[in-house]
Amino acid sequence: MSQNNVQLDPIRNAQVTWEGCSVLLDINDGDRLVFARLTSGSTLKIGNKNCSLQPLIGCPFGSLFQVDNGKEGPNLSRVIPSPEDDVQEKEDAQISGEFRDNRAIVDDNKAQCLSGEDIDEMRRQGATGEEIVEALIANSATFEKKTSFSQEKYKLKKQKKYAPKVLLRRPFARSICEAYFKKNPARIGFLRVDTLSLLLSMGNVAANSDVLVVDMAGGLLTGAVAERLGGTGYVCNTCIGDSPYPMDIVRIFNFSNEICKSIVRASVSDVTSQSETSEQSDQLESACNMEIQSNEQKSSSVSMEDISLSSENGVSDLILEANHSPVNKISKSHKVGEKASQETLKLWKENGFSSMIVVAPELDPWSFVKDLLPLLSYSAPFAIYHQYLQVVVSNATLIIR
């Protein structure tokens, strides 16, 4: 029932990016979060500049980059910060700012001597963003009169505009959940990262487990379970009826072939005997038909190759860009979420699943959980998540009865 003798890829280093991998780009300390597929031709627009993502390939996760003006246009250059310099700057700012305040400063837009034409001329001459920021500080008539806090605030504001920084983060369950919850929580059913961790713990997800999941969070739950299994065991994404739920987020995890093989799909009728569930499946399909159609309509415009989510103020917050990139380089020999084999289904029918986790905020859990509980092995744990506590409490009462 569980997979043994898992062979991991000895060549690929999971701590370093490679061409075709997915990454999470944190721009200016969380002001903008971007999921991107790294290829030689993929680009990222920061402000009004299009920067190639080629320099990010082969760099370790956690690297910091800065937008600079090169001879061939804007580019991302790696920044290696010095901790000693940062500590010394903070100490100097605290000492020099102890006896200053902002009472005599008047904000009349006359303190800056550099004009926009001067800044454009510096750019044409090849000045970097840091050099422009230093020039703005040197030509400010009020900078030295500001408190240390105001000076840091001024530097940060100018740095975000003229020298934006990009942090290269590895996409895994925590970072993906945090990114989606910050910018588009409805996409993952308002599932917080601490709640996701609690679900994995209550579901007793461990190596060599066979976990049954009902994932209507875009594949976040399926990916988190598969990440913890590490290629051992199985995670079976079940659905009501024949229309599977979307799992686009799973492809952001950069899973190896072995982990991809552990992610399978199966409908409720597939994992139960036909004689027991023919009538139940018909009832479930008719009861949940409208919810499934609504979910398909919501997910029809979402794909792995181009995801663009905007906040109410019109600012693009969470973008997945894969310009000029080939289709899914994560796994060439095995597709994520293939249908479970008949042999595996037979073993599940005989022995049951190790645990079950349900994240279906668009459905009434009791409408299908009552038919999924018999699929578990004896004393197997299960966890049910819903956005609203009242729904979970009412369902818990029905399950106890």
SS3 track for 263-294: EEEEECCCCCCHHHHHHHHHHHHHHHHHHHHH
pLDDT per residue as tens, the chain (401 positions) = 444 443 445 456 788 999 999 999 999 888 899 999 999 888 888 877 888 899 999 999 999 998 887 667 788 888 887 665 555 555 555 555 556 666 667 666 677 778 778 888 887 877 777 888 888 888 887 777 788 888 888 888 888 888 889 999 999 999 999 999 998 999 999 999 999 999 999 999 999 999 999 999 999 999 999 999 999 999 999 987 778 888 999 999 999 999 999 999 988 888 775 334 444 444 444 444 544 444 444 443 333 333 333 333 333 334 443 333 333 343 343 578 788 888 898 899 888 999 999 999 888 888 888 888 999 999 999 999 988 888 777 766 656 55
Task: For residue 284, give both structure tokens.
Answer: 């479930």
CA 332 to chain centre: 22
What is the phi/psi pair of residue 164, to 5°? -65, 145
| Contact call for residues 258 and 8 (beta carbons, < 8 A) | yes
Give the closest residue to 31 by CA, choosing from 183, 143, 174: 183
Give the three-state DSSP class for 92. helix
Q: Which residues, 6 or more positions from 152, have their beta carbon under 8 angstroms from its beta carbon?
A: 93
Strand locations in 72-225 (E): 73-79, 165-169, 210-215
State the Cα–Cα distance between residues 376 and 241, nearest whole angstrom. Answer: 19
User: In which element (H, E) is residue 396 found?
Assistant: helix 389-400
pLDDT value of position 301: 35
Give the closest residue to 357 by CA, choosing from 189, 192, 199: 199
pLDDT value of position 4: 43
Task: For residue 6, give both structure tokens.
Answer: 């898992």
| Contact call for residues 343 and 3 (beta carbons, < 8 A) | no
Task: For residue 5, give both structure tokens.
Answer: 């003798």
pTM: 0.75
Q: Which residues, 6 or more positions from 328, have their beta carbon under 8 angstroms from its beta carbon?
A: 251, 304
Q: Which residues, 6 or more positions from 326, have their beta carbon under 8 angstroms from its beta carbon?
A: 20, 39
Classify strands 64-70 and 165-169 as parallel, antiparallel or unpaired: antiparallel
Task: For residue 76, give both structure tokens.
Answer: 């991302």
pLDDT value of position 91: 55
User: How many CB atoms are closer than 10 A to CB 33?
Assistant: 20
Task: For residue 322, give both structure tokens.
Answer: 């894969």
State the Cα–Cα distance between residues 12 and 272, nearest whole angstrom. Answer: 39
State the Cα–Cα distance between residues 225 and 208, nearest whole angstrom. Answer: 12
Q: Which residues, 6 or more positions from 366, have their beta carbon under 8 angstroms from its beta carbon?
A: 394, 395, 398, 399
